[in-house]
Chains A and B, each alone.
Chain A
Amino acid sequence: MVKRLFTWLDERLGLIGIYDTVLDRKVPKVNWWFTLGSASMFLFVMQGVTGVFLTVYYVPSPDHAYDSIQYIMNGVAFGWLIRGIHHWGATLMVLVVFIHMLRTFYFAAYKYPREITWLTGVVLLLSTLGMGFTGYLLPWNQRAYWATTVGTEIPGTIPLIGDWILRIMRGGTDLSAVTLARFFSLHIWFLPATIAAMVGIHLYLVIRLGISAIPDKDD
């Protein structure tokens, strides 16, 4: 019965074709460093899922941001777990994505014909850092407030356009409710959408071109 249902679905959806192309493709002899791309994507999905759950109670307003997180941590069942995973997953994701980039660089895997994979990877790394930066403000505690004060002051020191950039980042001259709202929006809409789109291209290229082998002496 299950087999007939599967055959019916496969005939229409091409499930085995997807499996063969995506998961059963040929790979050269590689090592554990080559698992970091999958690990990055796993962490991205994990951050996405826990992030969606956090938005159930989080309120991106200076009046309620801090209290709503206190409520998540102490008032809601397993809120500490969901937020804990999101918190530590964020740190881990930056780490894993960065090491993934180093592996690609040291193994020269960015070369022809994989330049576009590398370029989308650059966007992915920067977006991941952007997620870390915007997410850091959301708890609206002292650390968040002052980290973002300093973090927006730094581009503010750029000659000529610095002040303009600082105002755009903060949505005005002060770090305010406007800043919190736009950081929240970037954190849950703009950056995840960018990452999802780039992951799509990145994965398509990995499947299309295959992954490169570890270079040997003659390469």
Chain B
Amino acid sequence: MAQSPDLDRRQFVTIVTAVLGSIMGAVVGLPAIGYLISPALAQRSKEAWIPLGVLDNYSIGTPTIINFTRSKVNGWEKTVNSYGVYVYRKSQTEVLVFSNICTHLSCRVTWNDEVQEYACPCHDAHFDIDGGIVFGPPPRPLDGYETKIEDGYLFILFQEA
């Protein structure tokens, strides 16, 4: 075939196919990436004040476990998660609230009255009554909650992950 300076039929079809194909690929392909990763990007960090009942119901000097549940919608399903916290009333007005989740690997700690420490059953971590590390592998003290007392009721500031 004689070389003409203009596009021949084949070249034209090749270019049109490549351009249209690229546009169609991009129009479907780029949203598809967003489709796959969008649940990971959804930041739904929520805060809530959780009521833990009348403050005077907690005895002074001994940590008391109390459980509450929070429901969360993940995609098409509603999950109810249970949480446990230790309420430690130091004095008439001073109160500390700790999560019972061990800061090491998320096992649940329990208050041991005999040694006056929180103990984790998984790797024998011990925390003192103020949440500080006594011994064991945890990287940081027990996580505490911000507290407030309104009309004699105790509340904690719960941060949803």
Contacts and interface: CB of A to CB of B under 8 A. Distances in A.
B78 to A, nearest CB: 10
B28 to A, nearest CB: 7
Contact of A56 (B31, B36, B76, B77): B36
Contacts of B32: 53, 78, 82
Contacts of B36: 53, 56
B38 interface: yes
Contacts of A57: 75-76
Contacts of B35: 53, 56, 76-79, 81-82
Contacts, number: 41
Contact of B77 (A49, A64, A76, A79): A64
**What size tier do the contact residues of chain B reach?**
10 to 19
Given A56-B36, A76-B39, A77-B38, A68 B31 contact: no
Contacts of A77: 31, 34-35, 38
Contact of B75 (A53, A71, A78): A71
Contacts of A56: 35-36
A174 B34 CA distance: 39
A67 B34 contact: no
Nearest to A70: B76
Among B34, B38, B76, the one with the most A-chain Cβ atoms within 10 Å of its Cβ is: B76
Interface in A48-66: 49-50, 53, 56-57, 59, 64
Nearest to A56: B36
Interface string B30-52: 01101110110000000000000
A53 B38 CA distance: 13
B31 A81 contact: yes
Given A56-B36, A76-B39, A77-B38, A71 B76 contact: yes
Nearest to A78: B31
Interface in A64-113: 64, 67-68, 70-71, 75-79, 81-82, 85
Contacts of A64: 76-77
A49 B31 CA distance: 13
B77 A78 contact: no
Contacts of A76: 35, 38-39
30 contacts: A50-B28, A53-B32, A53-B36, A56-B35, A56-B36, A57-B76, A59-B76, A64-B76, A64-B77, A67-B76, A67-B77, A68-B75, A68-B76, A71-B75, A71-B76, A75-B39, A75-B75, A76-B39, A77-B35, A77-B38, A78-B31, A78-B32, A78-B34, A78-B38, A79-B35, A81-B31, A81-B35, A82-B31, A82-B35, A85-B28
Q: Which 4 A/B pairs are nearest by Cβ-Cβ distance? A: A78-B31, A77-B38, A67-B76, A77-B34
Given A56-B36, A71-B76, A77-B38, 13 more contacts: A53-B36, A56-B35, A57-B76, A67-B77, A70-B76, A75-B39, A77-B31, A77-B35, A78-B38, A79-B35, A81-B31, A82-B32, A85-B28
